[in-house]
A and B are shown apart, each in its own frame.
Chain A
Amino acid sequence: AQSVTQLDSHVSVSEGTPVLLRCNYSSSYSPSLFWYVQHPNKGLQLLLKYTSAATLVKGINGFEAEFKKSETSFHLTKPSAHMSDAAEYFCVVSEPSGTYKYIFGTGTRLKVLA
């Protein structure tokens, strides 16, 4: 069965500095991978997705992620954090194993300091 591990429950960065949110996955098949963002008291919004095309995926608001099969990782990065990036971020895996469950990680709360 597929699973994801988000290695940090909380990350704090200063405004204007790079963001790195780490995600490792486990899958018996070629997975699809996603990052979702959840702002306080809001719904879940897709940031980006990997579905076996280019390994470097660009998303909204300047975020990108790189699929590294050898490391089973899909880390989320952004070159320069903005105050509005403060939110909860979820890494998600889906695998084509007959039932397409989307499994969420436990989340990383990003805090951006002025």
Chain B
Amino acid sequence: GAGVSQSPRYKVTKRGQDVALRCDPISGHVSLYWYRQALGQGPEFLTYFNYEAQQDKSGLPNDRFSAERPEGSISTLTIQRTEQRDSAMYRCASSFGGGTGELFFGEGSRLTVL
């Protein structure tokens, strides 16, 4: 597509529910990144993929968080048994890969856990 697309843009859920956030990167982009941004903070690295392979998941806070990119394009970030502290903006970015190129960000998915 023309840009990185994330859905849903806004998600309100109750504590204990599972949520799935979707990211559709720019066509042809090899690398896909997930970040979490709390209010007034910088984006915090969660995980990233090259093609379908998850290269680094060191930023995932705990085992309630998981991500996949099964066909090397669309990615899903899943949070199980959500907690109030999971409330944040979740941002997806894609790039051509290699670590020297521009990250292109989506508009983000704002998650609120009640």
Which of A94, A99, A103, A106 contacts B100 (CB under 8 A)?
A94
Q: How far is the CA of A16 from the CA of B77 in the complex (A)?
A: 44
Q: How far is the CA of A89 from the CA of B100 in the complex (A)?
A: 19
Assess A104 versus B99: contact at CB under 8 Å? Given A43-B106, A43-B108, A44-B91. no
Query: Per DSSP, are chain A's interface residues mostly helix, strand or loop, or mixed?
Result: strand
Which of chain B's residues has its CB closest to A100's CB? B99
Assess A105 versus B45: contact at CB under 8 Å? Given A43-B106, A43-B107. no
Interface 1/0s, chain A 36-77, versus B by CB < 8 A? 100000011110010100000000000000000000000000
Q: Please tell me if the beta carbons of A101 and B100 are within 8 angstroms of each other in the complex.
A: no
Q: Please tell me if the beta carbons of B43 and A90 are within 8 angstroms of each other in the complex.
A: yes
Q: Please tell me if the beta carbons of A94 and B91 are within 8 angstroms of each other in the complex.
A: no
Q: How far is the CA of A106 from the CA of B40 in the complex (A)?
A: 8
B18 to A: closest C-beta gap in Å:
26
Which of chain A's residues has its CB closest to B42's CB? A104
Interface residues of B toward A: which range? 20 to 34
- Tell me which residues across on chain B come within 8 A of A32, comparing CB atoms: 99-100
Q: Please tell me if the beta carbons of A100 and B45 are within 8 angstroms of each other in the complex.
A: no
For chain A, the count of residues having a C-beta within 8 Å of the partner chain is: 23
Assess A100 versus B103: contact at CB under 8 Å? Given A90-B43, A106-B42. no
Q: Please tell me if the beta carbons of A100 and B105 are within 8 angstroms of each other in the complex.
A: no
Q: Please tell me if the beta carbons of A105 and B106 are within 8 angstroms of each other in the complex.
A: no
Q: How far is the CA of A97 from the CA of B102 in the complex (A)?
A: 18
A22 to B: closest C-beta gap in Å:
15
Q: How far is the CA of A90 from the CA of B43 in the complex (A)?
A: 9
Which residues in A have some Cβ–Cβ distance to B below 8 Å? 32, 34, 36, 43-46, 49, 51, 90, 92, 94-96, 99-107
